[in-house]
Amino acid sequence: MDHKHLYAGLIRLHVLHHAVKEPIYGLAMIEELQRHGYKISAGTLYPILHGLERKGYLTSTEERSGGSARRVYRATPAGAEAFSAAKLKVRELFGELFEDEEPLSSTFEERKRP
């Protein structure tokens, strides 16, 4: 069980977060997601990018360098707006998910004690 279904929205928001800040492309995004602990393949990410583009959140252009070409994605104004709204929802959820937990720093102090 890889919980792909649960993480799908998180991955979409993560992609949109980067696409709002800078142009992104598939391979770099796969590496970025791996850095954050998501084992995602091109076969999973590309349909996500295409879906976000079809919904109007992203727009893409083909950029050529030398003999190779890659598709570069940027957030559309509608995508940036949707992301700002989603970000507030994430903050709200985050607050509830962690409301009963110790702040990270004090938990760390606890662990250091013998």
Interface residues with Zn ion (CB under 5 A)?
32
Kindly state the smallest distance separating residue 35's Cβ from Zn ion, in Å: 7
Among residues 33 and 82, whose Cβ is nearest to Zn ion?
33
Among residues 89 and 109, whose Cβ is nearest to Zn ion?
89
Among residues 21 and 108, whose Cβ is nearest to Zn ion?
21
d(CA 30, CA 11): 10
Ordered DSSP codes for 56-103: TSEEEEEEEETTEEEEEEEE-HHHHHHHHHHHHHHHHHHHHHTTTSPP
